[in-house]
Structures are given as C-alpha cells and as structure tokens.
Structure 1
Amino acid sequence: MSTTTGAHTPDGGEGPLVGRSVARREDPRLLTGRGRFVDDIALPGMLHAQFVRSTVANGELTSVDLDAVRKVPGVIAAFTAEDLDLGDITAQLDRPPEEFVPTAMPVLARDRVRYVGEPIAVVVARDAYAAEDGLEAAKIGYAVRPPVTCEADALADGAELVHAQAPRNTLVDVALFATEGIDEIFASADCVVHVETRTGRQNALPLETRGAVAHWDDREEQLVLQTCTQVPHQVRTVASRCLRLDERAVRVIVPDMGGGFGQKCVVGREEIATAAAALRLGRPVKWIEDRKDALTASFLAREQHYDVRAAFDAEGRILGLDADVVCDMGAYSCYPFTAGIEPLMAAAEMPGVYTVPAYRVRGRAVTTNKAPTAPYRGVSRPQYVMVVERLFERAARELGLDPVETRRRNLITDFPYTGVNGITYDPGSYLESLNLCEQTLRDEGWYERQAHATAAGRHLGIGYSCFSERTGYGSTAFAQRKMEVVPGFDISEVRMDTSGAVTVTTGTMSHGQSHETTLAQIVADALGLDLAKVRIHQGDTDRVTYGWGTFASRSVTVGGSAVRLAAGKLGEKLRRLAAARWDIPWEDTTLGRGRVHRHDDPAATLTYTELADTAYLKAHLLPKDMEPGLTATASFDVFNDGTFSNATHGVVVELHEGTGQVEILRYVCVEDCGVAINPRVVEGQCRGGIAQGIAGALFEQVTYDAQGEPSATSFMDYKVPTAQEIPDVTVQHLETPCAFSETGAKGAGEGGTIGAPAAVLNAVNDALRPTGVELDHTPVTPETVHRALRRTLERT
C-alpha cells in the first residue's frame, strides 16, 4: 500500500520526483557566483600560509633554517615539525607483517624527505604574497640519497629503501585467490593469451585545488576547520589525534567544493598543519594550494603494472585468469585506505562481468620517492577492465572469433551469481547493455563506414568495453579488506519545523554530484512534499551525527537509503499524529501534497503545518506515547557484497597518419545504475567520467626524471584534454533496480571512467590491425600511433 499520493515539483507538476530530471537546485547559486568555496572565506585578522617543500626526492634533513624567513616583511611566523610537535598520520590494515607494512606520515617532514614537494615547514604571513616571499628565504640542508623512481628500482636486489621497515620497498603483498589446479587448466587450454600493460601516473585534477581555513572559537572552545574534503568526519578524527584534542573540540565544515574525484577523500597533511598554526598564533589561518603544488605534491594515482594470462577453450570461453598486479603507491600510505587501496581492489574484483571459473592473483603495493597515491575515480577498475578487455580481444583474434561474440559467451547472465572471487553479484543487464551498444553502432552504419575507410586507406577502429561498477560498499565489504578503519554505514536525520519545511542531514559529501537535488527528490517523494520545502545539510561534523563522506559511488545507494528511511519514519509519525486526532488506525492514512489524508474520507485532511503546530506548540494535545517535535533519525548499512551497476561503452576512432592523432568520432554508453533518481544527473556523471577516462587513455601522465623530479609542473606539461578532444557522448539507460537499497538505485559516479580506457584502447588497436601492431600501455601518445602506422614499432 502506497503511503504517498504525490509530490510537487518546482515547475508546479505533480507525481513522483524520483526518476525525473528536475533542475539542479545547486545551479542558481553556483552559476551566479553565489557559491562559497574555501578561498571565498575571509575572517577578521586572517593570515595566509604556504609550505616550504622538499626540492629533493630522497634525503636526510641536515638543517632547516627559517631565521631569514621570519625576517621577510609581512611574515608573521614560520614553523618546523619540531615547533608544532604534531602526531603522525598512520593508516593501518589488520594484516600480518608479511602482507602489510604501515608507514607513519608526519604532518611536516622531520628527519627525512621522501619526495619532491614533501612539506617541511609552514610559513604564515599577512597575505599570500608575503607567504610566497617567505618560502624563498628558507634554507634547507639535505644529505641526498639515490631516489627510487620506479617499480623496477623499488624491487631490485639491494635497492635503496624508502622506509627502512619495508623490505624490497613493498608495503602490501597479498595473494587473495588461487584456484586449485589452475596450472593444469592453463596447460590443457586451447588458447592462452598474455597481456602486460602499464598505465601512467595521473592527477585527479579537481578544478578547485585543496585548501583550508582554521580558527579557534573561544565561545565554543573549539577549533573550526573549513576545508574542501570528501570525508569531513575522518579529517576531524585525524586532526584531533594529531593536535591532541578531544574530537568534540574539532569542528570540520565543508563549504561548496569544486570537485574531488577521490583526491580529497583522504586526509592531507597541509590542513592539519594549517590548523596547528592557527592554534599556535590564536588567529585564523588560510592555506590554498597553488596549481604547481597540486600537480606535483598532492595525492596522485593510477601508476600500475599488470602481467596477466588468460586461458580459453576453442569456442572462446574463458577457463582461467592468472594475474600479477604491482601498484606504485608513492612515498606513504594514505589515510584511511592505506597503500592497499589499489592492489586490493584490483585483486578482489578483476573477474568483473565474466564467468571466470579459475583465478589466481597476487597484488602488491610498492613504495617509491614520489607523492603518495590516493583513490581516484574508479580505483584500479579502469586499469584491470582494460587488461581483461584486451585479453578477450586477443583471444578472439587468435581463435578466429568475433570479439563481441566472444564476450557474449562469457558474460554473467544468471543472477545472483557468486564468482570465483567469492563476491556475489546482484542482477544486472550485462548482456543487454552489450547488445544495445553494438546494435546502436551498427544501426548508425559505423561498420560500413569502417569498411569504406579501410578501402580508402584510412584507419578507423571500433572498440568496446564491458564492465561492472561495484557500489554500495557497506561495512561488511570494507571489513573484508581488513581495514582498521571500516567505512560503510550512513546516518540521516530528517526534521520538520512548524512551517512544514524539512531539513535533512546526510553523512555523504557532495563535490559536484547534485546531492542537494537528488536527496531532496527522495525525501520529497517519501513525504509527499513540495521539493522546495526540503533542504539538505551536509559537510558539518557538528550538525551531522556521523558519516563516511563520498567515495566509491556510495552516496545515493547508502546515503540515499538512510535519507529515505529517516523520511519514512518522520512520515509515520505524521500519520500517527493525524490518526490520533481522527481516532482511527494510522495505517488508514496516506501522505501527499503536504497533508495527511484519510482513506475513508478523501476530503478529510490535516496539513503538515497543522500537525507541526501540535507537535511543537501544543504538546499537551499529543498522544501520551508520542514525544514532542517532528524529528526522525535512521541509519543504513549494506551487509552483503554490495550492488553492481554495469555498462558497455562503444567507441569509434580514426588514426591520422600525419600526426598520429587519435580522433574519437563516436562514443556510446549504455549504462544500468538501477533506478536513476535524476537521469540528467546520471548522464552528467557518465559524461564527466568518460572525459576523465579518455584523458587517462590518450593524454595525462606524470613522469619523473632520474632524480625523482616530476616533469609536469603546469598545464604546459600536463596534457589535459579540452572540449575539442572530448566527443559528444550518447548515454542510453537500462534499469535493473537494486533489490536492497531503499530507492532501487545503484551507484553511478565512477562508471564512465572505468569503461573509457579499455574501449578507446580497443578501438585504437582495431584501427591498427592492418599494421600488425598492438598497443597495451596508456596513455597512447601521438608519437606511438605515428610509429605504429609506419609499421616501425615492434609488437608490444
């Protein structure tokens, strides 16, 4: 029996809001310049901070002389690690020493530096310009040691150790699966294919760089830290520990945020040091990361090496997968996910959408003298999906089969399906999405155009990728990684005031995903309320009971479910209150249009404002078993393996002989994220993710010289695609509702990024087929394509 009869939309329409592309409520504020970001914050007496950073990749600190810094006009203070005496940031896994080695990350380097850009001291000045001037006066002495700049150096016999406690520079070394008899399966297979691939180190590149403003509130006896983070409660925990304060004495507030993509879902050192400087000086302190530091010294991602074999029978059915994964995680483990975030993700989920009967994998995280690695949209899935999709392409060619048909023969179609990796997949549309994507390109005539282009000497290629996106990770799923800090649940409070308007808190944290719109749609539907009457509050550790923030496409699946449950509880209280007034069972009432309705008398209604008037202002009229006020709280967690969104991407590219340029002519995405709360928002997530996936496939990479100096210090060096390089993307929706989320929604945040590199690379290789050259590494550069087209590149 439905408990709501309809909701009102801003355009005056009626009916369910979930599933409708209502206008984003954030847009008027953000598009008219009324957004409030960290750098917009100006407090009386505010000072500005910047960081003295290491200029060498590996070395002992022999001296840190800030005397000249303190004499620079405008500089108020300068602090070293010894001056601030802060606790370290240490992320832990509950694994034995042979599987995991923790690395304490000091807020400011003390005795040793481990990458170019590591913060050594903080300079505080009257304005940002004086702070920069102060940096130049710092005198830092180093005893330089040979840097470890790549995986080969890290694992070499007798290698320099980035951390003395980590033998062979290995922080994580885990073999999660090893099917009995897998060697015999490979020995007897009709076809065994091998792919070795490397992916370039990337920067998540949020439009807004990191930043923080900190001050001490004397009245509340509380440090207030305003920062652009995806995980405010985690920042509060670490800040309180490093500063040796009770958590109650730290309040973290997140204003509007211009992107995060995972780079901001870990705790950074600079916001802690900024807070410490504010405490020491008794004045507000602001730090804004400049773009050079953001490119070179912020958290990076993606540098991975896969060495994978797959066994197939003569009909193209996969028999086994054998993988070795090595991830270069930089100098430290990130908090709270640790250096295990990438190798554990790859090892656990590599079989993906295919029915792989036998599996063996080893996952390692090595440490090098580079900036640390944090999660970045997709976390290893863009890489392992690319590897698996390359294996299917290669097997199909060796067996003389069509690559798309080979995929069809191996896709999971019977659900629920428990894979060889021990993960149970809920229902999805894996086969349907592949069929629709291929049919779309065929109906548009791309296969005929490819044949004509080939006959004319042009190089057109068509590529696909099939994948799933595990979302709705709950406490159970994260506990399987043996994290000391186990994310998962979310808590929401829904509170109605005397005007009938509703305030909703959520532990998730929007940085562009439209939470103010989508979560409001869920609440408005649940209460039969005008959308304009719902206000979402997030990103304030004093207003939000607790939350794990936003990452891993969890916001609508987990956070939205908590919001829906809390709204449902409030709706029940409204119905019980109205039923008491009418002296009827509360089950004989319905919510809708801002009122409680009687089933037996449609003309009889009580408005929410009338009920709120009783709940708050006339509490003596309440039933004896009902508390005053209209507030409800609910939590939601996932106690299974989560839910799986899925998609197929189809790409058409043309390779240009003269320049080696890869031009994307067509991009089709068929996605299934369950119930799309707001289809336009989902499409925006798909398109943004695809743009980042294309960037990794064709453009972006941070490289280092032999001394560990990063090559990309500006956008002159770090090749970011523009709108000219990103094609129009067609997004088509399928819908397989999640069976256990409160809304039927699955996550949609990372899928675009996951599928793009594989589809683009497969399309490039399809265009290169006449040359006999295959490419397996990304980014695919114009130089590489140019050489391949001239048939001078050796087979990789």
Structure 2
Amino acid sequence: MADPRLIGRSVARREDPRLLSGRGRFVDDIQLPGMLHAQFVRSTVAHGLITSIDLSAVREVPGVVAAYTAEDLPLGDITALLGRPPHEFVPTAMPVLARDRVRYVGEPLAVVVARDAYAAEDGLAAARVGYETLAPLTSEEQALAPGAVLVHDEAAHNTLVDVSLFATDGIDGIFDDAPCVVQVSTRTGRQNALPLETRGAVAHWDDREEQLVLQTCTQVPHQVRTVASRSLGLDEHKVRVIVPDMGGGFGLKCAVGREEIAAAAAALRLGRPVKWIEDRKDALSASFLAREQHYEVRAAFDEQGTILGLDADVVCDMGAYSCYPFTAGIEPLMAAAEMPGVYKVPAYRVRGRAVTTNKAPTAPYRGVSRPQYVMVVERLFERAARELDLDPVEIRRRNVITDFPYTGVNGITYDPGSYLEALDLCERSVRDEGWYERQAAAAAEGRHIGIGYSCFSERTGYGSTAFAQRKMAVVPGFDISEVRMDTSGAVTVTTGTMSHGQSHETTMAQIVADELGLDIAKVRIHQGDTERITYGWGTFASRSITVGGSAVRLAAAKLGDKLCRIAAAHWDITPEETELDRARVRRKDDHSAVLGYEQLADIAYLRAHLLPKDVEPGLTATATFDVFNDGTFSNAAHGVVVELHEGTGQVEILRYICVEDVGVAINPQVVEGQCRGGIAQGIAGALFEQVTYDGQGEPSATSFMDYKVPTAQEIPDVTIHHLSTPCAFTETGAKGAGEGGTIGAPAAVLNAVNDGLRATGIELDHTPITPGTVHSALRGNPENVS
C-alpha cells in the first residue's frame, strides 16, 4: 500500500492555478467605489533643513483632490527600540512625513491625493520645496570622521548601535603566539531586495464596523496594525490590516513603512478610499535598502590548520533611520552573535556598529548579515589554507562542528546537523563530474577556471528566547494557529505567518491533512487578516514552517483529540481506545466501527445535546508554539565552478552544486524552489547588484538601466542534493529553508573567482565583483583592483 502521508512529498502547489491564470488578487488589483490615488512629494536633497513646502499649485492641478504635509496630518512618529543602555543604542524617531529636516533623497515630505494616478503624478510636479542644504554623509568613513555633521543630533559620532558582545579572555595572547594569522578586509555593496510587486496600500474607513481597513502587502500585518493605530491615535481594535496575494517580500516588507500610514491618514481625512502604489523609481531609490557592510576580521590558526581565534570589527551602514520593529541593530547584532557559524572557534572577540548616513534606511533582506559574515569567514579559511599549504576543503573539514549538541564560544547551542557530510558530498560531486581535470586542461589552454566552496549554517526557528537576547522592545517568537472544522468535515486553518511566495497554502495544508487524515483539498489556509488571526509575527527569518507549521500541527492534533472524545462518548469507551483514520474516527479494537468527520461535526454543531458534558459545542482548536532554546540550524555546502573571460572580465558560472539539510522537507519541490531563488539573489549580490551614491547623496540606480539585475541568462542551473537531520523540537522535524541559498552563494562565487585568479597573485575581497575588476586582475594590475 502506498504511503498516504503528504509530508515529504512534492504535492503540486495549490496557489498556482489561481496565480498562473491571472486570478490572483494583489494590492493594485483592489478597486473600491470612490477610490482616490496617492503619491508622495519626496526630498530632492540628501541632507537639509526644510525652509518651506508650498503645495498651493499642487491643489490647483486638475484631478488633485488634496495635498497634505506633516503639519496637515499630525501623526505619531515610528520609533523602534532596543532595551540597551545609551552607549550601545540610540533610538531615532522616523516621522511619517518629514517635518523640519530631510535625511535622504526620496524621503517623503507630503502626500498628494488625486482622482487617478496620473493626476497624482502631475500634482507632484507642481510642489515647491525650499531647503537649507547640509553636508550629506554618503559613506561610513564620512559618518565616523571627527567633527562630521550629525544625521541625528542625538546620535553622537553618527553611531546608532555599538556593541561588543564577546571578548574571550587572553585573545590577544592567542593571536600573538599563533603560528598563522590571516586577515580579511571586505566590503559588500548596498542592495535592493527587489520584490516583483512593489510596496502598496489601499485604505478606507468602514462605517459599519467602525474600523480603518488597511489592505497592504506586508510580511507583518499585526505590526503594521500596531504602528498604524499608534500613529493615527486609534485604538488597535479600530484598525484592521488585510494582506491580499503578495508578490515577494524578502524582508523588505517586514519593516513598517511610512507611506502606508500616510495613505491611511489621508483616507481618514477625506472619508474616501485611498490607494498608493510605489513606482519602480521610488522602490529602487527611496524604499528600504540593505547589505552595505564593512568587515575587518583576522583569524589565528595552528600549524595543522585548526582555528584558534577570531577577532572582528563590523560596521553596517544602516542609512538614515532605524526600521520598525527590528531597529538598526538587526545587522550588526546578527553578525556579532553568529559569525563563528559552523566552525569550532575557541576564542572570539567582536565589535558591531550601525552607523547612520544620508541614504535610504536599511531593512532586513534575505539572510541578514549572514551572506556577508559567511563570505568573510570562508575567505579567512581560504587564505589560511594557502598560508599553510593545505587543501581549502581539508582545512574546513578539520574545523567544522561534528559533535552535537555543540555550544559555541558565542553562547549558542547548535542542534544536530550534517556540516561535514554536506561538505564532503559537495566536494565529491564536483570531483566526480571531472571539474578539477577540466580546470587543469583549461589552464594549459590559457583559460581561467576557478572552483570555490562555502560551508555554513542558517539559524532558523528563532523563538522568543532568541529574539529577547537582542534586547528588542518588541520581541517576536511565538505563533498561534486555529483549526476549525465545519459540518462538511472540511477545515479552515489560521496561521500568523504570511506567505509572499513560500507556498504556505500548500505546505501548511500538507501538515494539517496528514495530522487529521484528510484529503488536502478539504484544508483551507487563512492568513494575513488581523481581524481573523488572533496574533502573528508574520514571515521572516525562515520561521514559517518551523514555528508557524508547528503551531498548525498542534492545533490540528487538538482538534483530532476532540473528535476522538466525541466518538468515544458515542461508543461509551475512552478516547484512548479510538484513533483517527482517513477522515474518520475508528475503534482500535474494531476497525469496522467508524464515525466520519461529517457525522461527528453533525453532533458537534447540530445535535449538541449528544455531546458529553465536558465537551463544548463546535469543532475548533487553538494552539501556540514557541522555541525556548537557541533555535534550530539548517546547514549547507555550496560548490561553484566559474570561468573568467580575459577579454571582458566577465564571470561565467559553469556549474553550481548545493548540498543542503533542512531537516524534514515538508514539500521537497518547494524547498528546492526556495533554494534556487535564494542562490539567484546571492549571485546577484556577488556579481551584479549595487546602489551607489554621488557626492551629493544622489542614488545611482533609479531604474533597471542602472541597477543590474541578473536574468535567467546569468543564473545557472543548480543541482541540489538533500540530506536530512530532523529537528528534535519542531513539531514536524522541519528546519527553516528560506534564506540558505542566499547565505552561501556570495562566498562560494568569490572563492571560485579567486581560485580562477590564482596565477595572477591577486585576490578579491569585495562584492559585487565587477567585470572591470576581474579584467584588471587578469592583466596583473592590482592598482586597478578595488
């Protein structure tokens, strides 16, 4: 008999028929009677005092209904907090509309509301804003220079976060005595998360419910509700946030934006629905950005290649403001806490800083600092391998964690994983395909082929305990699920997670269908509605299946228990003498005695007088799940083969192999899709994407003519091998799978490029790796290599 279980099977995505046939419903598809359209007057200078905002001509533009400044819409600021002392963290209030000062090009100053989107754009052109310009800070060095102008008066030295989480006693002596000390100085480019669907919102007041209804594409609907209610001065029950279908988020949409709050305020003022859709220019230049980081790191090794210590200084350029709820601490705290990664590092010292500059603020982006620090650590191992004349894979073997559970020097306990097994399989796959022989043959022909690896873990399933260690004032972690069966025996499941492409309608339904023995078609998943979901933290940090899926399974199990109790009372036996079986309850001692779910639902709803006295009418169960340890760790090894073309400096990826372990894969095809998408974004950061600024703080990439996004032509086929080390404390054995591809790709690509440059004696440490840089390196011009 075939295994009826759905977990572990590549069930066809239930979302696809709707989305592929154009029946999806995204924010921009929403049309309400009398709806108006909003756009924002944005700052044209990076740093300055606002001397005047004249909207009189705007209000005369045909089709414009209203135009508001911060004075017209008295809204509370958005302020993210950490529970850290002032010398470690400085909070900065982010006004919904700038009042006295602008801090980056694109900062919203006023909202223009019109009868259609075209009139709103015409209205923007009529706005007149006066500034007293101040010197813009466009780099970390400028921000930290003595006497630099301050982006925020309260943030001395333009530093928002400055923490030293770890400093092993005697670490200086370890480095002084070490036979081998290597150092890496690296910078990573500023990036845009670039979801296919830009940000947007539709807001209106519902007179019957006496509620502001805000439909928006966010990963964190409950957090948007909290900020909106506080900023607008409404009780939280008077704000309902609904998320329709969403075309990607990648972390960008788990920060609460200013524009959705301003659109809601305009809707309240006008008594009419207001829609705002971010255009691509604003999305590229004025939306939340990510990634710009600078690492100065050194590592000490003994003669055999065993790591003795790690010493790091991390500076993250977080732009003009802290994002809500994560604060500017999200990137330096992530890097500082988790940098040792998969390696047995016995001594560790780290300083992590977040600086503020006159750039669009930073939000989480897939991986959050892990692509950067993994790249740094992997470069250190490559460099040490050359210094000690060791094979670069062998030196990793000697240092990866193999005994579990393992508590690292960073105080984090790692649950069982397959770090060494993944690395071995990855290298064996590359060798078995003959790439080392091809590399040697290419070298004889004067071609440059490089092979690179990365080995890493991804901490997932962050619970309240893990987030509390960051001392966030808002502590995410738990999830709540409700499973409700109707009289037909079908179930509706609520989850506090928020799908933006992760296939929750499929994977969550697989979990429930397995637990209750239901046909998956009988399971409906509901998320993204603060009125119907008790509370939820949304989707980020690969938490959906680990935390949300665990809550869903527990709720389904509770409902199953109730079904068994009803059936047991009908048969006058104990619930322990019954079991669930294919949408029915049967007696364990007589499998011919069964009650279908429809029969049991009939009793629960329509003939409640037959229920036992200790069982309430209805078929509803609620469960919560939290993680009270350090979370669970997925792991992977990536192997990359590249060819460097002398004439153009182009980096061509010839082969990409990934060996990953995400515990139990609920739906392997979905997991592979997550991995391939993540790898594509990691390659983008390694080779293509970057937002730079001129001396006046003007962003360089405001269209796809300038922001270099890779296409299918540049992204190779990816071979994925699966290992499985089930998690012991999630309800399904699953570990997170959302960010791993992105985390490992930059390190593997950079190492492969450097392997291809071996004969030149030049090494690269910064990303993105441009063709010009590779061209200069191949010609042996280190002075032109940045």
* TM-score (norm: length of structure 1): 0.98
SS at match of 2:312: strand
1:377 equivalent among 366, 386, 392: 366
Shift of 1:584: 1.4
Mapping of residues 502-541 of structure 1, within 5 Å: 502-541=491-530
> Match of 1:427?
416
> Match of 1:651?
640
Tell me if 1:627 matches 2:616. yes
SS at match of 1:202: coil
Give a deviation string over 1:471-530, Cα, whole Å, max 9, x none: 000000000000000000000000000000000000000000000000000000000001
> Match of 2:468?
479
Shift of 1:315: 0.2
> Match of 1:494?
483
> Match of 1:591?
580
Tell me if 1:316 matches 2:301. no
Give a deviation string over 1:205-240, Cα, whole Å, max 9, x none: 000000000000000000000000000000000000
C-alpha separation between the residues in 2 aligned to 1:185 and 1:397? 21
Tell me if 1:171 matches 2:167. no
Give a deviation string over 1:642-663, Cα, whole Å, max 9, x none: 0000000000000000000000
> Match of 2:192?
203
Shift of 1:140: 0.2
Tell me if 1:30 matches 2:19. yes
> Match of 1:144?
133
SS at match of 1:277: helix
2:453 equivalent among 454, 459, 464: 464
> Match of 2:123?
134
SS at match of 1:300: coil
| More displaced 10-residue stretch of structure 1: 452-461 or 683-692 | 452-461
Fraction of identical pairs, as percent: 85
1:601 equivalent among 569, 590, 605: 590
Tell me if 1:451 matches 2:440. yes
Give a deviation string over 1:360-392, Cα, whole Å, max 9, x none: 000000000000000000000000000000000
> Match of 2:685?
696
C-alpha separation between the residues in 2 aligned to 1:190 and 1:590? 64
> Match of 1:680?
669
Shift of 1:587: 1.1
> Match of 1:18?
7
C-alpha separation between the residues in 2 aligned to 1:769 and 1:181? 36
The one-letter amino acid of 1:302's match is R
C-alpha separation between the residues in 2 aligned to 1:747 and 1:81? 42
C-alpha separation between the residues in 2 aligned to 1:580 and 1:313? 69
Shift of 1:14: 5.7
The one-letter amino acid of 1:130's match is A
> Match of 1:258?
247
C-alpha separation between the residues in 1 aligned to 2:57 and 2:580? 69
Mapping of residues 712-731 of structure 1, within 5 Å: 712-731=701-720
The one-letter amino acid of 1:452's match is A
Shift of 1:588: 1.6
> Match of 1:760?
749
1:94 equivalent among 83, 102, 115: 83
Shift of 1:51: 0.1
The one-letter amino acid of 1:390's match is R
The one-letter amino acid of 1:617's match is L
C-alpha separation between the residues in 1 aligned to 2:78 and 2:782? 46
Shift of 1:603: 1.1
C-alpha separation between the residues in 2 aligned to 1:158 and 1:364? 18
C-alpha separation between the residues in 1 aligned to 2:758 and 2:156? 43
C-alpha separation between the residues in 2 aligned to 1:679 and 1:589? 32
2:207 equivalent among 213, 218, 231: 218
The one-letter amino acid of 1:595's match is R
> Match of 1:103?
92
Q: Mind listing any 5+ residue stretches in structure 2 that lack a counterpart?
A: none
C-alpha separation between the residues in 2 aligned to 1:584 and 1:435? 55
Shift of 1:602: 1.1
The RMSD of aligned alpha carbons is: 0.7
* TM-score (norm: length of structure 2): 0.99
The one-letter amino acid of 2:747's match is A
Tell me if 1:359 matches 2:342. no
SS at match of 1:36: coil
SS at match of 1:677: coil
> Match of 1:77?
66
Structure 1 stretches of 4+ moved >2 Å: none
> Match of 1:10?
none
Q: Mind listing any 5+ residue stretches in structure 1 that lack a counterpart?
A: 1-5, 7-12
C-alpha separation between the residues in 1 aligned to 2:446 and 2:48? 55
Tell me if 1:732 matches 2:721. yes
> Match of 1:9?
none
Aligned residue pairs total 785
SS at match of 1:553: coil
SS at match of 1:105: coil
C-alpha separation between the residues in 2 aligned to 1:605 and 1:79? 66
Shift of 1:282: 0.0
Shift of 1:456: 1.0
> Match of 1:344?
333
Give a deviation string over 1:766-790, Cα, whole Å, max 9, x none: 0000000000000000000000000
Give a deviation string over 1:551-573, Cα, whole Å, max 9, x none: 00000000000000000000000
Tell me if 1:386 matches 2:375. yes
C-alpha separation between the residues in 1 aligned to 2:102 and 2:382? 44
> Match of 1:161?
150
SS at match of 1:320: strand
Give a deviation string over 1:726-766, Cα, whole Å, max 9, x none: 00000110000000000000000000000000000000000
SS at match of 1:264: helix
The one-letter amino acid of 2:613's match is K
SS at match of 1:509: coil
SS at match of 1:411: coil
C-alpha separation between the residues in 2 aligned to 1:757 and 1:60? 40
SS at match of 1:84: coil
C-alpha separation between the residues in 1 aligned to 2:716 and 2:577? 54
